[in-house]
Amino acid sequence: MTGPKLAGKQTVTSPNAKEDRHFVTALARGLELLSCFRSGEKLLGNQELAERARLPKSTVSRMTYTLTRLAYLEFVQEVGKYRLGTAALALGTAMLSRLDIRKMARPLMQQVADFSHATVSLGVRDRLSMIFVENCRSQAALTLRLDVGARIPIASTAMGRAYLAETSEAERHDILERVRALDEVAWHAMNQKVLRSIDEYRELGCCTSFGDWQADVNAIAVAFRPSENAAPVSINCGGPAFSLSPDFLLNEVKPRLLEIAGRLGNQ
C-alpha cells in the first residue's frame, strides 16, 4: 500500500482581504506559517516555509524570527531549521482538550475499528483539508497509518465529502470555488464526483471514496453536528481495498457509523 497523500497547502488569506479593513494581513501570514508544519514533519527551513506559504523568503525570515521570540517556533541550530515551539503546542493542546466529543466518540470508534479491522477517524475542516482530531485502529497488521493532526483533502476523501454534504450550500460553494482555483484542469472531474457524492449521501446516508483518494484505499464516512449551531464533524472508516470491500463497508460498517453519529449528534 502506498503512503498517504496529504492535503496540499492552501493560503488562508481571504479573497477580499485587501478590501476588509478589519483583516490583519501580518497576523494571517504568521498563522499561515505555523500551519505549514504537517503531521509527521518536525523541521522546516525558511526556504521550505516560503514555498509552502507562497511568501518571499525575506518576509518569512522576519516572521520566523518573531515567532521564535514568542516561542511559537524553536530554532534548531544544528540543522538551521525550525520546529513548533511550546506556545504552538499549548494552543493545539487547548483546542483538543475542549473537544469533548472526542472522549465520547473514542470507545464507540474503537468498537467499529475492531469489528472492521480498519481505521476509524474523527475529523474537522481546516480550510481545504480535513484534520484528524481522533483516531482508532484495530490490531490488524495492515491499517492506514494516519495520526491525530494528519490532514487529508476535502474533495477527494469520504470524510471531506461527508462534511461537504452536511454543511450549508453557501459554505460548500465557497469551499469548492477555492478547490477550483487550486487546479482548474482537474476541477471538472473532481466537481462531478463531489456532486455525485452529495446525492449519494442523501440516498445512502454516507459518502464513499473507493479508490478516489488513493487507488488502494476504500472508505466511507458520515457527518453530524455535535450541537445545533456547531460545524459538522465527520467520522470515517477506511483501509486497504483488498481487505475492505465496498459491500462490507456499506452493508456492515455504515449502520455502525450512523449509530455513532446519531448518538453524538446535537449533544
Q: How confident is the model at residue 139 (pLDDT cuts 50, 70, 90)?
A: confident
Query: φ, ψ for residue 95 (rounded to 5)?
Result: -65, -45
pLDDT tens sequence across 84-122? 887 877 777 666 655 678 888 999 999 999 999 999 999
pLDDT tens sequence across 28-84? 888 889 888 876 677 999 999 999 888 999 999 999 999 999 988 999 999 999 998
Task: Using a pLDDT cut of 90, give the percent of the chain over it.
Answer: 59
Query: Residue 2's pLDDT is what?
Result: 38
Q: How confident is the model at residue 215 (pLDDT cuts 50, 70, 90)?
A: very high
Listed range (38-47, 209-218, 258-267) with the worst mean pLDDT: 38-47
Listed range (19-28, 45-54, 125-134, 207-216) with the worst mean pLDDT: 19-28
- Judged against a pLDDT cut of 50, whether residue 11 lies above it is answered with no
Specify whether the CB–CB gap between 75 and 55 falls below 8 A: no
Copy the grid coordinates of residue 247.
459491500
Interatomic CA distance for residues 46 and 14, integer angstroms: 24
The distance in angstroms from the start CA to the end CA of the chain is 38
Specify whether the CB–CB gap between 123 and 137 falls below 8 A: no
- Judged against a pLDDT cut of 50, whether residue 267 lies above it is answered with yes
Burial class of residue 94, CB neighbours in 10 A (0-12, 13-18, 19+): exposed
Q: What is the pTM of this model?
A: 0.74
- Judged against a pLDDT cut of 60, whether residue 211 lies above it is answered with yes
Domains delineated in the chain: 17-92 (1.10.10.10), 99-264 (3.30.450.40)
DSSP character string of the chain:
-PPPPPPPP-----TTGGG-TT--HHHHHHHHHHTT--TT---B-HHHHHHHHT--HHHHHHHHHHHHHTTSEEEETTTTEEEE-HHHHHHHHHHHHT-HHHHHHHHHHHHHHHHHTSEEEEEEEETTEEEEEEEEE-S-S------TT-EEESSSSHHHHHHHHHS-HHHHHHHHHHHHHH-HHHHHHHHHHHHHHHHHHHHHSSEEEESSSSTTEEEEEEEE-SSTTSPPEEEEEEEETTTS-HHHIIIIIHHHHHHHHHHHTT-
Chain mean pLDDT for the chain: 86
